[in-house]
Amino acid sequence: MTHWMFTEEHKMFRDAVRKFVEKEIIPFVEEWEEAGAVPRSVFERVGALGYLGTKFPVEYGGVGSDLIMDGIFNEELTKCGSGGIGAAIVAHIGIALTPIWRFGNHEQKLKYLQPGIEGKKIAALGITEPSAGSDVSSIGTKAVDKGDHYLLNGSKTFITNGVNADYVVVAAKTADGPGHRNTSLFIVESNWEGFSVGKKLDKLGWRGSDTGELYFENVKVPKKNLIGRLNEGFKYIMINFQWERLTLALSSIALAEKALEETVRYSKERIQFGGPLAQFQVLRHKMVDMAIDIEKARSITYRAIYRYDKGEDVTTEATMAKAYAAEMVSRVCDQALQIHGGNGYMMEFPVQRYWRDARLQSIGGGTTQIMNEILTKKLQIIEN
């Protein structure tokens, strides 16, 4: 959709990504959904086209463009119709590579960021644990200083790309004391002794991405693999949450648009009572409500992205965008399925996948309830 935020360069990029998705992603959606993972060759292909590196510096193989360009890639990729495929690739660049880019040193960027941008290595972010999800400060994984290395022990769960990742950016406790000053981030290679994948998790939606349980048993992590400063990992995670939540809002909007487009088409083709479904005012009005709901989410999200790209702190705006868009996409996809009627409940029609994929949006990256609790403090409804 035309928007004042986008330049001609942005529009040209969107057209190029859309053509790529139509030609090289959509024909394989069902195959990759069934396999439960995106092939490594796809990461390499997307990397070769430069799409993994839009926001990253040219020095490390990136394009050196803006975050708006990265957001456009997210939107168009999501419109392939598989939340899992979009999640696998966007998690790689959006939440796993980003901490290395923002807080890592030159050597780490050469060794891990650059091959990630090229799609030659797959990355994952390991924060969530069996007993610690939205409450990041309560993670139990620990890294103990042993002089020339850290000894890492613990586990992670619900890790996107966790099964096939070449390395994982892991959050671990490195000190006693307050939760916001005792956590650090480490780059942990998956082939190191003591690193193991417990199992590949079977999910309701996002089935096109691999999601795993990870275990660390006396993993020796070199000191050089500490990202940034010791005990500042919590701050890095919170900073990265702004972009993660904006990408989730964007993917919610794109998925809702996809569902609405197919519902409008279906309503014109499906004949009932001697005419197309679109002849019924109640259904036409449902689709209008869906379109308005999408536009509300887009307005909140685009404004936040524009300001974030300018370097502003958009914690409040990004949280609002995530909270609203994540609930919106479930409403829209539920109505889309309803308008499809019995066909919507059949696996042959992709709207059932949109409905399943949408349900995770209000959980991943912080639940809607956590978003609302953050906002009560940011809006000074209660004291911090």
Active site residue 244: yes
- As to burial, measured by CB atoms within 10 angstroms (0-12 exposed, 13-18 middle, 19+ buried), residue 30 is middle
- Token reading at 54: 């839009």
372/225 Cα distance (integer angstroms): 35
The crossing angle, in degrees rounded to 10, of helices 315-340 and 368-378 is 150
Long-range CB pairs of 215-219 (<8 Å, 24+ gap) are: 215/154, 215/155, 216/141, 216/152, 216/153, 216/154, 216/155, 216/170, 216/188, 217/153, 218/151, 218/152, 218/153, 218/194, 219/151, 219/152, 219/153, 219/188, 219/192, 219/193, 219/194, 219/195
Q: What b/e readout covers 203-236, taking b as 16+ CB neighbours within 10 angstroms?
A: bebbbbbbbbbbbbeebebeeebbbbebbbbbeb
Range list of β-strands (E), 20-121: none
Residue 185 dihedral angles phi and psi, to the nearest 5°? -110, 135
| DSSP letter for each residue of 326-357 | HHHHHHHHHHHHHHHGGGGGSTTSTHHHHHHH
Which one of 75, 129, 213, 244 is the catalytic residue?
A: 244
CB-CB contact of 171 with 237 (8 Å): yes
Stated length of the chain: 384
288/294 Cα distance (integer angstroms): 10
Residue 167 dihedral angles phi and psi, to the nearest 5°? -155, 155
- Token reading at 195: 């690193």
Contacts of 384 (CB under 8 A, 6+ apart): 377
Give the closest residue to 90 by CA, choosing from 250, 322, 303.
250
In 92-203, which ranges are continuous DSSP H helix? 97-103, 106-108, 114-117
Catalytic residues: 244
